[in-house]
Protein backbone atom coordinates (compact mmCIF):
# COMPACT_ATOMS: atom_id res chain seq x y z
CA UNK A 1 0.00 0.00 0.00
CA UNK A 2 1.34 3.37 -1.02
CA UNK A 3 0.91 6.15 1.46
CA UNK A 4 0.87 9.65 0.12
CA UNK A 5 2.64 11.91 2.47
CA UNK A 6 1.84 15.59 2.62
CA UNK A 7 4.83 17.87 2.59
CA UNK A 8 5.64 19.31 5.94
CA UNK A 9 3.95 22.73 6.23
CA UNK A 10 6.13 25.54 7.31
CA UNK A 11 5.35 27.21 10.60
CA UNK A 12 3.35 30.41 10.21
CA UNK A 13 4.81 32.00 13.27
CA UNK A 14 5.72 35.68 12.70
CA UNK A 15 3.99 35.99 9.33
CA UNK A 16 1.52 38.60 10.63
CA UNK A 17 4.22 41.12 11.54
CA UNK A 18 4.81 42.32 7.94
CA UNK A 19 1.05 42.64 7.43
CA UNK A 20 0.69 44.69 10.59
CA UNK A 21 3.56 46.97 9.51
CA UNK A 22 2.10 47.46 6.02
CA UNK A 23 -1.42 48.17 7.28
CA UNK A 24 -0.11 50.55 9.94
CA UNK A 25 1.84 52.49 7.32
CA UNK A 26 -1.22 52.56 5.05
CA UNK A 27 -3.46 53.79 7.88
CA UNK A 28 -0.93 56.49 8.81
CA UNK A 29 -0.74 57.64 5.18
CA UNK A 30 -4.54 57.81 4.98
CA UNK A 31 -4.71 59.87 8.18
CA UNK A 32 -2.06 62.30 6.90
CA UNK A 33 -3.84 62.75 3.56
CA UNK A 34 -7.23 63.22 5.24
CA UNK A 35 -5.80 65.79 7.69
CA UNK A 36 -4.14 67.68 4.83
CA UNK A 37 -7.30 67.63 2.72
CA UNK A 38 -9.34 68.93 5.65
CA UNK A 39 -6.80 71.66 6.33
CA UNK A 40 -6.83 72.72 2.66
CA UNK A 41 -10.64 72.84 2.62
CA UNK A 42 -10.79 74.91 5.82
CA UNK A 43 -8.09 77.31 4.58
CA UNK A 44 -10.00 77.84 1.34
CA UNK A 45 -13.22 78.47 3.29
CA UNK A 46 -11.43 81.01 5.53
CA UNK A 47 -9.93 82.76 2.50
CA UNK A 48 -13.33 82.84 0.80
CA UNK A 49 -14.85 84.37 3.94
CA UNK A 50 -12.09 87.00 3.95
CA UNK A 51 -12.76 87.73 0.25
CA UNK A 52 -16.49 88.10 1.00
CA UNK A 53 -15.75 90.70 3.66
CA UNK A 54 -13.31 92.52 1.38
CA UNK A 55 -15.85 92.55 -1.49
CA UNK A 56 -18.55 93.88 0.83
CA UNK A 57 -16.17 96.58 2.03
CA UNK A 58 -15.42 97.45 -1.58
CA UNK A 59 -19.12 97.54 -2.47
CA UNK A 60 -19.73 100.03 0.34
CA UNK A 61 -16.87 102.32 -0.75
CA UNK A 62 -18.97 104.66 -2.87
CA UNK A 63 -18.92 108.43 -2.45
CA UNK A 64 -22.14 110.28 -1.69
CA UNK A 65 -21.68 112.23 -4.91
CA UNK A 66 -21.94 108.92 -6.76
CA UNK A 67 -25.42 108.14 -5.40
CA UNK A 68 -28.24 109.01 -7.81
CA UNK A 69 -31.85 108.13 -8.50
CA UNK A 70 -32.19 106.37 -11.86
CA UNK A 71 -35.58 105.08 -13.07
CA UNK A 72 -37.03 105.47 -9.59
CA UNK A 73 -34.22 103.42 -8.05
CA UNK A 74 -31.43 104.69 -5.81
CA UNK A 75 -28.05 103.54 -7.15
CA UNK A 76 -24.49 104.08 -6.04
CA UNK A 77 -21.73 104.28 -8.62
CA UNK A 78 -18.49 102.56 -7.70
CA UNK A 79 -15.03 103.16 -9.11
CA UNK A 80 -12.15 100.70 -9.04
CA UNK A 81 -9.80 103.07 -7.20
CA UNK A 82 -12.07 103.35 -4.16
CA UNK A 83 -12.63 99.58 -4.20
CA UNK A 84 -8.88 98.89 -4.13
CA UNK A 85 -8.40 101.32 -1.23
CA UNK A 86 -11.33 99.86 0.74
CA UNK A 87 -10.18 96.27 0.18
CA UNK A 88 -6.63 97.07 1.28
CA UNK A 89 -7.89 98.87 4.38
CA UNK A 90 -10.16 95.92 5.21
CA UNK A 91 -7.30 93.43 4.86
CA UNK A 92 -5.04 95.60 7.02
CA UNK A 93 -7.64 95.65 9.82
CA UNK A 94 -9.04 92.10 9.55
CA UNK A 95 -7.50 89.81 12.19
CA UNK A 96 -8.20 86.74 10.04
CA UNK A 97 -5.86 88.04 7.33
CA UNK A 98 -2.84 87.34 9.56
CA UNK A 99 -3.29 83.56 9.29
CA UNK A 100 -2.41 83.34 5.58
CA UNK A 101 1.00 83.02 3.94
CA UNK A 102 1.67 85.29 0.99
CA UNK A 103 -1.83 86.83 0.99
CA UNK A 104 -2.28 89.05 -2.05
CA UNK A 105 -5.05 90.90 -3.84
CA UNK A 106 -5.19 89.64 -7.42
CA UNK A 107 -8.19 91.70 -8.47
CA UNK A 108 -10.26 94.46 -6.86
CA UNK A 109 -12.45 96.28 -9.33
CA UNK A 110 -15.91 96.93 -10.67
CA UNK A 111 -17.09 95.86 -14.08
CA UNK A 112 -20.49 97.54 -14.06
CA UNK A 113 -20.14 100.38 -11.54
CA UNK A 114 -22.48 98.61 -9.13
CA UNK A 115 -20.61 95.46 -8.04
CA UNK A 116 -17.25 95.01 -6.37
CA UNK A 117 -15.27 91.99 -7.55
CA UNK A 118 -12.41 90.84 -5.32
CA UNK A 119 -9.98 87.98 -5.97
CA UNK A 120 -7.58 86.97 -3.21
CA UNK A 121 -4.75 84.44 -3.30
CA UNK A 122 -2.73 82.80 -0.54
CA UNK A 123 -0.38 79.85 -0.16
CA UNK A 124 -1.52 76.83 1.84
CA UNK A 125 0.97 74.56 3.60
CA UNK A 126 0.05 71.08 4.93
CA UNK A 127 -0.19 70.73 8.72
CA UNK A 128 2.31 67.83 8.72
CA UNK A 129 5.16 67.61 6.24
CA UNK A 130 4.85 64.42 4.27
CA UNK A 131 6.15 63.07 0.97
CA UNK A 132 2.51 62.37 0.09
CA UNK A 133 1.51 66.04 0.01
CA UNK A 134 2.99 69.06 -1.80
CA UNK A 135 4.87 71.64 0.25
CA UNK A 136 2.52 74.45 -0.70
CA UNK A 137 -0.54 75.05 -2.86
CA UNK A 138 -1.79 78.39 -4.19
CA UNK A 139 -5.42 79.01 -3.21
CA UNK A 140 -7.35 81.61 -5.19
CA UNK A 141 -10.94 82.71 -4.51
CA UNK A 142 -13.22 85.34 -6.05
CA UNK A 143 -16.14 87.08 -4.39
CA UNK A 144 -18.62 89.64 -5.70
CA UNK A 145 -20.74 92.05 -3.65
CA UNK A 146 -23.23 94.74 -4.62
CA UNK A 147 -24.65 97.68 -2.69
CA UNK A 148 -28.42 97.69 -2.74
CA UNK A 149 -30.60 100.48 -1.38
CA UNK A 150 -34.09 99.57 -0.17
- Per-residue pLDDT of the chain (150 residues), as tens digits, is 666 666 666 666 667 888 899 999 999 999 998 999 999 999 999 999 999 999 999 998 888 777 778 787 777 888 889 999 999 999 999 998 888 999 999 999 998 888 999 999 999 998 888 777 788 899 999 999 998 776
> Environment class of residue 17 by beta-carbon count within 10 Å: exposed (0-12), middle (13-18) or buried (19+)?
exposed
86 and 60 Cβ atoms separated by less than 8 Å: yes
Long-range pairs for 4-13 at CB < 8 Å and ≥24 separation? Answer: none
CA distance 18 to 71: 78
Distances in Å between the alpha carbon of 77 and those of 83, 110, 115, 145?
Answer: 11, 10, 9, 13
* String of DSSP letters for 58-81: HHT---GGGEEEETTEEEE---HH
pTM listed for this prediction: 0.80
CB proximity list for 47: less than 8 A, separation 6 or greater: 100, 120, 122, 139, 141
Amino acid sequence: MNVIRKPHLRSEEGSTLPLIAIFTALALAMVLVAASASSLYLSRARLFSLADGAALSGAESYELEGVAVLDGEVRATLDSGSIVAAVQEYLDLAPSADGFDELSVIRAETSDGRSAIVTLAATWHPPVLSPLMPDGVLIEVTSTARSVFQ
